Amino acid sequence: MDWKHFFNVKLAIESFPFVVQGIGYTFLISIVSMGFGLVIGFFLCLARQSSHKALRWPARLYISFMRGIPMLALLFILYFGLPVVGIELSSITSAIIGFSINSAAYIAEIHRASMKSVSKGQWDAGHALGLSYWQVMFGVIIPQATRIAIPPLLNIFLDLVKASSLAAVITVPELLYNAQIVAGRTYDSITLYLLVALIYWGICIIISIITEQIEKRFSRY
């Protein structure tokens, strides 16, 4: 078997500088979406646990909807669908909004599970000291819940990095999009897609190493 027909090493090396130019967009989408997702997810979590049905049920519906639709469909709705009603978003904005509101649903459930893992006695102790709801939340509950939430949240970020490749379908010039350009010019799709896979693998290995160090740091406490 001639491996050149399966993976052309020379083409991969020559194409690497151009393909890797898209890594900036990959991290931009992943990091910004994770940041917005954490904020939105936190308030979704509070609404999901609220005693008021007007807050709890819309939050549950939102989480169910976002977890139940394909990410690709959401990107199409934002980028191709909204212009029909007069709302035009750039490809980058569409990608960030899409990944943010989608990841927020998963992050909300992580927040909820981590908060519930903190003993109810912590709430009682805080109230007994005369602390308000928000003082107990930010001063007592969240610091303890954060240590529990760190591992699954880092996994969410890892998934975001990989899922950012879907932004190529709405013309975001990230890694996969650049690889498709070269593949269309050279007619060697398999080499370029394998190259992208290896780049993502390398990124994920680095993130996994950082994740392990963060987990070890938090496990001390």
pLDDT of residue 9: 83
Count CB-CB contacts under 10 A for residue 170. 20
Query: What would you report as the CA-atom Rg of the chain, rounded to the nearest whole angstrom?
Result: 21
93 touches 31 (CB < 8 A) = no
Domain residue spans in the chain? 3-219
**CA neighbours within 13 Å on the CB side: how many for 139?**
12
11 touches 190 (CB < 8 A) = no
pLDDT of residue 3: 56
Q: How confident is the model at residue 4 (pLDDT cuts 50, 70, 90)?
A: low
Percent of the chain with pLDDT over 90: 53
Q: Tokens 């001390």 appear where?
A: 220
Instruction: Kindly report, residue by residue over 127-163, the tens digit of the pLDDT.
Output: 788 888 778 888 888 888 888 888 899 899 999 999 9
Tokens of 54: 């007007």
Architecture of domain 3-219: Orthogonal Bundle (1.10)
DSSP reduced 3-state for 105:
helix
Taking the model in full, what pTM does it have? Answer: 0.88
pLDDT at residue 31 tops 90: yes
pLDDT at residue 5 tops 70: no
Q: How confident is the model at residue 21 (pLDDT cuts 50, 70, 90)?
A: very high
Instruction: Kindly report, residue by residue over 108-136, the tens digit of the pLDDT.
Output: 999 999 888 888 887 778 878 888 877 88
pLDDT at residue 220 tops 70: no
pLDDT at residue 16 tops 60: yes
pLDDT of residue 123: 78
